Chain A
């Protein structure tokens, strides 16, 4: 009787393992940070990068979503001066393929969506047209950096 119980328990474990076997979604993404070069601080500075995904192996009806969030409220500069807020960075999108692009403004508190892939799309891309607002007085002429995070989700 005791042996039979062991066998039953072992069988149950094996069956449950088989049932809970899941396939992990996977995808490859190409993510690049923008670089702005100001020649006139009184004008908006712009640049374009491409956000892309490929080789997506997703469950039925699932899609890729890519969002961004700043890691700090302001850009940082080794030479000091007036800080430039991350919210001065905004973007529009164009040329979406197998996905939709979303315009947005960089935020340090929450992720803002940039790309949402079409359901079941295995690849896609969108051009992100980044803009950085005109600078205010006191910003030093130097390199300023803002760390931020791309969040890639399968939804």
Chain B
């Protein structure tokens, strides 16, 4: 038997032993009839919630000289878990642009700031009235600390009167909702 063959066999055995140990963790020696070992179970919970938001808000404008309210919408938030009992969940909204996109390019349309909303009727949260902005998020509701769920009903978005608008058709404004944990 050559020394090279012996070396290969020994290395194979060594690798097999290393793999066997790698498949498990640390081995503890037990001698006698019984022995106990401390261990720890851990669970990690990420900050989270489940939220149902309106997919769109539609204003059916029939009279340009008066403001138009969209049908009331509801927002439901559940399974709220935050990093401390004092942190709060805040819901905000902003427009992705400074004004609506008119049906005809260049036509006069509404500005994002022409959209306002009321505080709604909240459960487990405090609603905030506000005005849409194309440059920053404005608060719609803030969930009370410690609440596992909350809802806002009767949230009404209103579009200002604007008699300078001359084109009928769909004027659209894309918005972004922000859900964030605030406080410490």
- 0 or 1 for each of A134-145: is its CB under 8 Å from B? (1 = yes): 010111111111
- 0 or 1 for each of B101-136: is its CB under 8 Å from A? (1 = yes): 000000000000000000000000000000000000
A95 at the interface (CB under 8 A from B): no
Interface pick from A2-10, A13-21, A27-35, A97-105: A27-35
A154 at the interface (CB under 8 A from B): yes
Which of A79, A89, A137 sits near B41, CB closer than 8 Å? A89
Provide the residues of chain B in CB contact with A52, threshold 8 Å: 24
* A135 and B81 contact, CB distance less than 8 A: yes
Provide the residues of chain B in CB contact with A135, threshold 8 Å: 45, 81
* A150 and B24 contact, CB distance less than 8 A: no
* A81 and B85 contact, CB distance less than 8 A: yes
Judged by DSSP, the binding face of A is strand
Which of A29, A106, A139 sits near B30, CB closer than 8 Å? A29
* A138 and B146 contact, CB distance less than 8 A: yes
How many inter-chain contacts with C-beta < 8 Å in the A-B complex? 152
Chain A residues 87-115 with CB under 8 Å of chain B are 89, 106
Residue among B79, B81, B146 with max Cβ neighbours from chain A (10 Å): B81
Q: How far is the CA of A108 from the CA of B29 in the complex (A)?
A: 25
* A31 and B31 contact, CB distance less than 8 A: no
- 0 or 1 for each of A38-54: is its CB under 8 Å from B? (1 = yes): 11111001000010101
* A36 and B27 contact, CB distance less than 8 A: no
Chain B: minimal CB distance from A131 (Å) = 11
* B42 and A144 contact, CB distance less than 8 A: yes
- The number of chain A residues touching the other chain, given as a range, is 35 or more
Q: How far is the CA of A151 from the CA of B138 in the complex (A)?
A: 57
Residue in B closest to A36 when the chains form the complex, CB atoms: B43
Residue in B closest to A43 when the chains form the complex, CB atoms: B79
Which of B35, B46, B148 sits near A38, CB closer than 8 Å? B46
* A33 and B43 contact, CB distance less than 8 A: no
Provide the residues of chain A in CB contact with B149, threshold 8 Å: 137
Please list the 9 inter-chain residue pairs (A to B) with the smallest Cβ-Cβ separation, ordered nearest first. A137-B148, A36-B43, A33-B39, A141-B47, A30-B24, A153-B34, A141-B81, A28-B27, A146-B41
7 cross-chain CB contacts under 8 A = A27-B30, A37-B46, A106-B41, A135-B45, A140-B85, A148-B40, A153-B33
